[in-house]
Structure 1
């Protein structure tokens, strides 16, 4: 981690207002390094879904900011997030993206660590003359908590519990998980790509409906009429809501917020063949309706600050690399133990929009690239974040919301950004 930089209240007032921000937020390399220290090591960062480490011995590698970590499940089924760095000479002890193991062994000098990070073996230990403090030399463990299958970790032992950090977002996480149609949620693989832009450009995108009918016109032109009508976001009565702590939710299709409501509605025509296949497998009609309704995903995008989007039917994970480079992972989701036909249908939908040859994500990446290029064009030019600012309203739950094209989600994220950067 970088050395802590101390800030004072008001330090960022000149570059960030409630309704605008200077492009320096995308281009300042020193500011980026400060973000890694003051945001990514000081808050809850998503590292895994429980299904990725379902059994004892399962592990995956991830990052918290720039720090490499290993997410493990030990023999007692407890989850650990460990810094992927041997305590002897700093070599990584795991270079595999995911797998199953009983231990992690440093390839340099053979120090061996258990799944909970404790030091278990040191070759030729007699050279330490009995003074090696094994108990103090395990892999560094991060504070780790889980909510509804989402695993988060933090370097900061003093911050609020995860449930408090998530706050009103917990309701939307619970609704998002209903797309597994009563089966356990599982990941179905992922693809990743990098784009030459700042991580906050992508952060802004998840709850930005304003761009959808413009950037994704090709997708809308190529899909069927029924789907095109479903994605008529500007005329569906949706909204964007500030959930606190930088989180936000964009409701695109209000009729699909709760996937267990309205199960008696007619199937979309594009799912008729799937329904027939499920009938042929012997599923009862109530179950078929629940599965078919869930296949297309939820009718909203949830943005969890700073690095996870629960986006309709997949996870979007952002990984800052440098001030002008960001890695994005799109994780496909499915129903563990559910009908193969349903999981295949979800994968085909994922490929059509999110896939590397799809008709959605490549267009997003193109405009993110253009934003970063344009940000070089004048340090004194403001990014506008004021759309629907005058139309915000309070909700009965105590949050605030705007219309579906509102930039309230961006304002929420930058408010949290400023709070953490000035802390």
Structure 2
């Protein structure tokens, strides 16, 4: 099956869905400001967006600020334990009521005119109330509350109050979220910290990357040369027939990189623990049984796959990658390091060192990825006569019994799934 290398004419100027045809994408998806504005309305303000992990707001009053599209929100646990996602915007004149990225609070107060709100968003008070008699009722002006649901500690929110249940949206991806969380080795997953940076490119360029195994040995050649032989061999999935990519519906996809670590509860004992973690094994063996030590050490690299959840979060082996579209040509990325909540400190420190080595600001992975993404953005200005191709593996893609499209991990099945969802949402 050969995909065309040029486009049919668009039906109308507003027919954005025509920009994705078969496995070919018009470069204007990266460069058109009007299309970017339409994506905010049709995608980011209509679907489920990941905003936080429950470990970040464990206690009453704990909060974290986030973005949905270009709108700021607050994710907060109130005094009853309920998680609320609130617009970070005073109902008076629109100023943000919280500027800290995270913390603990009893409420939120606007810095402009001191309107104050509770953790549930209710307007508690305003100064100098004279002049508001018979003008407003406090009960009518809470911080706007978003639809909010969570799955396995992953908190999602939506401006769309009529959206389908989160469980339905995640669909076949739920199985993979369950598997991803097994890297806690019997402990709950927790957020340990994050690295934030921006690149000069469109958000969809990064969206494509997480289940793009084709780029890994090329872009990350320096990283592979910087690690021990065992780690490099573990990540040599280019010619492994068990290393596959699956479309999971609703824009989601998964790329299996280390098949033997897909389900970390399964261990036949044949895998030798890496020598680089000998100090961890030695320390843990002082207080833990051998099977628990082995379970923790095997989990230090995380799960054996990258899971892409449309449109803004990836659960990538041992970290969350969160994208935030700033403009048509700029995207902010957060790399969120994960650890074991209540797990041994030495193992969590080792996970942080692994995260720093690849995802950190001085790591081998993030800078190389960002340069590749920016080069794609620069090249996209060539126009629609030089389309973006996402057709690798069309000749060997197949459909399994539950309807997932499956191909090799170096194929672009995941990208085609994401653009199919993009097209579906942009057609509405």
Q: TM-score range by the shorter chain?
A: over 0.9
Confirm or deny that 1:309 pairs with 2:338. no
Residue 359 (structure 1) aligns with: 364
Work out whether residues 28 and 383 of structure 2, in 8 Å CA contact, stay in contact via their aligned partners in 1: no
SS at match of 1:107: coil
Work out whether residues 263 and 290 of structure 1, in 8 Å CA contact, stay in contact via their aligned partners in 2: no
SS at match of 2:25: strand
Confirm or deny that 1:177 pairs with 2:178. no
SS at match of 2:395: helix
CA deviations over 1:321-369 (Å, ceiling 9, x no partner): 0000000000000001110000000000000111111111110001001
Q: Give the C-alpha shift of residue 8 in structure 1.
A: 8.9
Residue 407 (structure 1) aligns with: 412
SS at match of 1:390: coil
Residue 344 (structure 2) aligns with: 339
Q: Normalising by structure 1, what TM-score? A: 0.96
Residue 4 (structure 1) aligns with: none
Equivalent-residue separation in structure 1 for 2:324 and 2:353 (angstroms): 25
Q: Give the C-alpha shift of residue 126 in structure 1.
A: 3.2
Residue 15 (structure 1) aligns with: 19
Q: Normalising by structure 2, what TM-score? A: 0.95
Residue 275 (structure 2) aligns with: 269
Q: Give the C-alpha shift of residue 235 in structure 1.
A: 2.2
Q: 1:326 to 1:13 in 2, by over 3 A?
A: closer
Greater Cα offset, 395-404 or 133-142: 395-404
CA deviations over 1:64-93 (Å, ceiling 9, x no partner): 110000000001100000000000111110
RMSD: 1.4
Work out whether residues 43 and 426 of structure 2, in 8 Å CA contact, stay in contact via their aligned partners in 1: yes
List gaps (5 residues or longer) in structure 2.
Answer: 1-10
Confirm or deny that 1:56 pairs with 2:64. no
Greater Cα offset, 390-399 or 248-257: 390-399
Q: Give the C-alpha shift of residue 131 in structure 1.
A: 3.9
SS at match of 1:127: coil
Q: 1:58 to 1:382 in 2, by over 3 A?
A: same
Work out whether residues 25 and 31 of structure 1, in 8 Å CA contact, stay in contact via their aligned partners in 2: yes
Alignment of 1:68-107 (within 5 A): 68-107=72-111
CA deviations over 1:165-212 (Å, ceiling 9, x no partner): 000000000000011111111000101000000000000000000000
- Count of paired positions: 416
Q: Give the C-alpha shift of residue 10 in structure 1.
A: 9.8
Equivalent-residue separation in structure 1 for 2:23 and 2:88 (angstroms): 40
Alignment of 1:186-225 (within 5 A): 186-225=190-229
